Amino acid sequence: MSTLTLAKALNEGMRKAMEDDPKVLIMGEDVGKLGGVFRVTDGLQKDFGEQRVIDTPLAESGIIGTAIGLALRGYRPVCEIQFDGFVFPAADQIITQLAKMPLRSLGKVRLPVVVRIPCGGGIGAVEHHSESPEAYFTHTSGLRVVACSNPADAYTMIQQAIRCDDPVVFFEPKRRYWEKAEVDTSAEPAGWPPFDQAQVVRQGTDLTVLAYGPMVKTCLEAAAAAEEDGRSLEVVDLRSLNPLDVARVTESVRKTGRCIVVHEAPVYNGFGAEVAARVTETCFYNLEAPVLRVGGPSTPYPPSRLEDHYLPDLDRVLDAVDRAFAF
């Protein structure tokens, strides 16, 4: 076991993938000599060379377009989008080419491309640097969309994403990059949690809290606070957003009878709306209250001095818990 930050766990996961497969490439803005603005790729260019860890121009559409061409020639590119809000110039390549090519070719062409996106707020940055664009990509058929929330998952999930023959959009909670936890770097892939499976990270009996990425830690803190009031909250880390592990979500909600969904993105038309609809469809006769959602307001991301008012926190999660129990 090693104690790693989430950023270091991602680094070690990519390093292991590059050691195992010479076709794995890292590419993006400042990922080489600088090691990325968050130092997630630190040291990889020094150890694997400029032909495998490639500093690209500031051109997100070009990064993804080039990765598609490389994947067509048998490589497994891992692209870093430097900040979440920078992904939109690449949306054309991701949505109209990367997601569509396997079906367009009737399965004859596979595009094993990973698009890494540091996501969310909480670091004192401005708009375009603190976005949560996951709903754009979960709505796009042909993409796998996943989100890690802790170092152990970061280490295994980035390797699973690289091994996957489907294109993967990989969200990384940037404000959790520096948080540490134990990571078993010696575990064999057969012992890793399945790539598309949700995980119950806290057992409970009274209410299910569904979250992913940066909000998992916040929800665990809320569950600990709720326990002091005699309420037992079960926290489920979704991990995979597309496909969604409906079976595990349903199992939890049928047990508890109440559910709230938490994410940083705006509530209106956010990914939580899909989750809430699925829970309502599959658990209607088990629910003691409506499924409630907690997220950001429908405004552009605010200046850094105001982001604490924008981001969901422990109190907003507990307020939703109170409302759920009021029915």
List the catalytic residues: 129
Q: Which DSSP helix (H) or strand (E) runs through 217?
A: helix 215-227
Q: In angstroms, what is the C-alpha Rg of the chain? A: 19
Three-point CA angle 310, 313, 315, nearest 5°:
115
Pair 289, 322: CB distance under 8 Å: no
Pair 137, 145: CB distance under 8 Å: yes
Ramachandran region, residue 14 (left: φ > 0; alpha: ψ -120 to 50; beta: rest): alpha
| Cα Dmax for the chain | 60
Q: Identify the bridge partners of residue 173 per DSSP, sorted by sequence position.
A: 119
Q: Are strands 207-211 and 233-237 parallel, antiparallel or unpaired?
A: parallel
Round to whole Å and give the CA distance between 300 and 319. 23
Round to whole Å and give the CA distance between 150 and 215. 11
3-state secondary structure 42-80: CCHHHHHCCCCEEECCCCHHHHHHHHHHHHHCCCEEEEE
Round to whole Å and give the CA distance between 238 and 253. 13
Q: Identify the bridge partners of residue 180 per DSSP, sorted by sequence position.
A: 5
Q: Which DSSP helix (H) or strand (E) runs through 302?
A: none
